[in-house]
Amino acid sequence: MDLSTSDIAALTSFRRTLHQSPEVSGNEEQTAKMVRDALSALSPDQVVTGLGGHGLAACFGGPSPGSTILFRCELDALPIQQISDAAHRSRSEGVAHLCGHDGHMAIMMGLATCLSRCRPACGRVILLFQPAEETGAGAAAVLADPRFEALTPDFAFALHNLPGIPLGTAALKSGPVCCASRGLEVTLTGTSAHASQPETGVSPMAAISDLMPALTNLSHGDTDDAGFSLVTVTHANMGAPAFGIAPGNATLFATLRTLTDDRMKALCDQAIALTGQAAQDHGLEIDHRYHDIFRHCENDPVATDILATALDRAGISRDDTALPWRPSEDFGRFGAVAKSAMLFLGAGVDQPPLHNPHYDFPDDLIPAGVRIFEAVTRDLLG
The proportion of the chain whose per-residue pLDDT surpasses 90, expressed as a percent, equals 97
Angle at 41 between CA 39 and CA 45, to 5 degrees: 65
Using DSSP's 3-state secondary structure scheme, residue 301 falls into: helix
Is the CB of residue 180 less than 8 Å from the CB of residue 225?
Answer: no
pLDDT at position 80 is 97
How far is C-alpha 199 from the chain's CA centre?
Answer: 46
pLDDT at position 277 is 97
The gap between the terminal CA atoms of the chain, to the nearest Å, is: 12
Same domain, residue pair 24 and 136: yes
Pairing of the two strands 155-162 and 124-130: unpaired
Q: How confident is the model at residue 92 (pLDDT cuts 50, 70, 90)?
A: very high
From the list 218, 289, 282, 223, the residue with the least C-alpha distance to 249 is 282
CATH number of 67's domain: 3.40.630.10
pLDDT at position 226 is 87
Structural domain harbouring 333: 5-174+298-381
Same domain, residue pair 37 and 146: yes
Same domain, residue pair 113 and 57: yes
Per-residue pLDDT tens for 247-278?
Answer: 999 999 999 999 999 999 999 999 999 999 99
Return d(Cα 309, Cα 357) in angstroms, integer: 35
Same domain, residue pair 134 and 214: no
Q: How confident is the model at residue 1 (pLDDT cuts 50, 70, 90)?
A: low
CA dihedral 27, 33, 35, 36 (to 10 degrees): 130
Per-residue pLDDT tens for 206-232?
Answer: 999 999 999 999 999 998 888 999 999
Same domain, residue pair 111 and 69: yes
Same domain, residue pair 247 and 156: no
Same domain, residue pair 141 and 10: yes
Return d(Cα 168, Cα 221) in angstroms, integer: 29
pLDDT at position 130 is 98
Per-residue pLDDT tens for 229-244?
Answer: 999 999 999 999 999 9
Q: Is the dihedral of CA 49, 374, 102, 319 positive or negative?
A: positive
Per-residue pLDDT tens for 109-159?
Answer: 999 999 999 999 999 999 999 999 999 999 999 999 999 999 999 999 999
Per-residue pLDDT tens for 147-181?
Answer: 999 999 999 999 999 999 999 999 999 999 999 99
How many domains in the chain? 2
pLDDT at 50 over 80: yes
Average pLDDT over the chain, rounded to an integer: 97
pLDDT at position 88 is 97
> What's the pTM?
0.93
State which of 267, 294, 321 marks the end of a domain.
Answer: 294
Same domain, residue pair 136 and 27: yes
Angle at 122 between CA 120 and CA 124, to 5 degrees: 70
Same domain, residue pair 27 and 155: yes
State which of 294, 327, 346 marks the end of a domain.
Answer: 294
Q: What beta strand segments (E) does the chain contain?
A: 46-51, 55-61, 68-74, 124-130, 155-162, 170-171, 175-178, 180-189, 193-194, 229-238, 245-246, 249-258, 285-294, 297-299, 339-346
State which of 249, 264, 294 marks the end of a domain.
Answer: 294
**How many C-alpha atoms does 151 have within 13 Å on its Cβ side?**
28
Same domain, residue pair 163 and 78: yes
Same domain, residue pair 276 and 316: no
CATH number of 201's domain: 3.30.70.360
Same domain, residue pair 11 and 106: yes
pLDDT at position 2 is 82
